[in-house]
Amino acid sequence: MASSSIPNVNVMMDKVKVSASNLFEQIEALGELSDTTPPSITRILYSENDVRARDYVKSLMVSAGLVVREDSLGNIYGRLTGSEDDELSPVVSGSHADAIPHSGKYDGVLGVLGAIEALRAIRDSGLRLKRPVEALMFTSEEPTRFGLSCIGSRAMCGRLDAGYLNSLRDANGTGFLEACRGGGYCKDGATTAEVLEASYVPKGGVHAFVELHIEQGPMLEDEGLDIGVVTAIAAPASVTFDFVGNGGHAGALLMPYRRDAGLVAAELALSVEQWALGTKAVDTVATTGVLQVYPGAVNSVPREAHVEVDVRDIDEERRDGVLSSIIRSAEVIARKRSVEMEHKIVNQDPPAPCDASVIDAVQESANELGLTSRRMVSRAYHDALFMAQIAPTGMIFIPCKGGVSHRPDEFSSQKDMENGVRTLALAMIKLAGVAETCDQEGKEEL
């Protein structure tokens, strides 16, 4: 799928006027809907503030002249109608608005509100496209409530098992279906399987997908560049380990008799680092993000330890090789220290290359707008990772101050946001195509 050429791009983009000040005000307003005091943002799936945020996003879609619909999980679509053929599969852009505890205002939110602003600008320009375009807010990109990320996009591409989803519980013991109904979704009587089926979007149901996002890293800011053209999205595999030794009094249990679960966990954490470094690839990263010992007293030898490890790469075979090596190391270390071990692979999602047609549309748009750019990999994963399974997909990055994300001081300037939304709008126009009548009008204006 090649991007559509657009004659007279300067004329058209003069018509497509993006308001960075409006976007900034909307981000600030959405930031007030938080369980913690702004600028610290906490917005948990199906919570009161999550529902209020959904209502706010829908109101912005309506104000932008979009037709709003929601699926049974709470994925929210806003469609700009009036294309040459509204029956064609749409070009879609979006992200998420849920937020992990004590995070910032821009992660995900920029991609939702920026998509709405792009569509508003296209509508106000009077430009008529060949295909419909849509803004989309995904449900639960963050894994905060149920320990599973990208619930909405997983469901949309048919990669979410009803039985597994039913097995999940939040910190209060609430099941997913109950929480979903509490948020105003999942009709009474509907099974989880029925809810997921109603959210499914078949391959070809989306013509192209492009997600706007802050970089969440320092590269663009450090290099003084405007736009990141994403070429691939890394994906994590995560695994949990539980170790059980003997434990005992820190003074009475002599060293030769110890089976210290804490030391197994410590050795494993160092092993995780070594396996990641051992690939010699800059794209391989591995993190021991959780290391807990029990009973957790200074005068008690750790009897139990719980470890959670995250391994990421854009090369699936290399990532999975590191994961296997980490598991083997855990077995060897546990055996050496006479400690029992259990492990569980929590997820092992495939990385996604971005589609050449979307990459080209983004790159051409940045170039034609006179913006500096570079091609880069997304180290974090996003809903775009799963959308790539059903549609040609790409991403646009803009700089964020200090490369900071998932913190209250997360920030992007109005200028950078304007650059991102203008690039997004033009890329969506290219991917959707301009109706012939508009092409002729553009030629006549010159």
Which tokens belong to 84? 């040459």
Average pLDDT (29-47) is 98
- Computed over every residue of the chain, the mean pLDDT equals 94
d(CA 417, CA 111): 10
Expressed in angstroms, the distance from the first to the final Cα of the chain is 29
418 Cβ contact list (under 8 Å, min separation 6): 18, 20, 23
C-beta of residue 391 within 8 angstroms of C-beta of residue 203: yes
- List, for residues 177-235, the tens digit of each pLDDT value: 999 999 999 987 899 999 999 999 999 999 999 999 999 999 999 999 999 999 999 99
Output the pLDDT for position 326. Answer: 98
Residue 329 CB: number of other CB atoms within 10 A? 17
DSSP string, 55-74: HHHHHHHHHTTPEEEE-TT-
**C-beta atoms surrounding 171 within 10 Å:** 10
pLDDT value at 8 more than 90: no
Q: Which residues of 177-299 form beta strands (DSSP E)?
A: 208-214, 227-233, 235-244, 248-249, 285-294
CATH of 9-234+351-445, one of 3.30.420.270, 2.160.20.10, 3.40.630.10, 3.40.50.300: 3.40.630.10
Let me know: does 132 contact 107? Beta carbons within 8 Å.
no
Q: Which fold has domain 235-348?
A: Alpha-Beta Plaits (3.30.70)
| Helix ranges restricted to H, 64-191 | 109-125, 151-156, 162-167, 176-182
Let me know: does 310 contact 236? Beta carbons within 8 Å. Answer: yes
Contact 122, 16 (CB under 8 A): yes
**Can you list the alpha helix ranges (DSSP code H) found in 300-355?**
316-336
Q: Do the strands 248-249 and 300-301 form a parallel or antiparallel pair, or are they unpaired?
A: antiparallel
Residue 299 CB contacts under 8 Å (≥ 6 apart), including other chains? 249, 250, 251
Residue found under tokens 């070594």: 274
Q: Cβ distance 396 to 229 under 8 Å?
A: yes
Break the chain into its structural domains and give their ranges: 9-234+351-445, 235-348
Judge whether 275 and 375 are in contact, CB under 8 Å.
no
Q: What is the pLDDT of residues 430-445, one digit of tens each?
A: 999 999 765 555 444 4
Q: Tens of pLDDT along 381-428?
A: 899 999 999 999 999 999 999 999 999 999 999 999 999 999 999 999
Q: DSSP string spanning 260-289?
A: -HHHHHHHHHHHHHHHHHHT--TT-EEEEE
How deeply is 242 buried, as exposed, middle or buried, from its count of CB atoms within 10 A (0-12, 13-18, 19+)? Answer: middle
Tell me the mean pLDDT in the region 268-281. 98
Whether the model pTM is above 0.85: yes
Inter-axis angle of helices 20-31 and 109-125, nearest 10: 140
Residues constituting the chain: 446
Q: How confident is the model at residue 13 (pLDDT cuts 50, 70, 90)?
A: confident
Segment 334-371, tens digit of pLDDT: 999 999 999 999 989 999 999 999 999 999 999 999 99
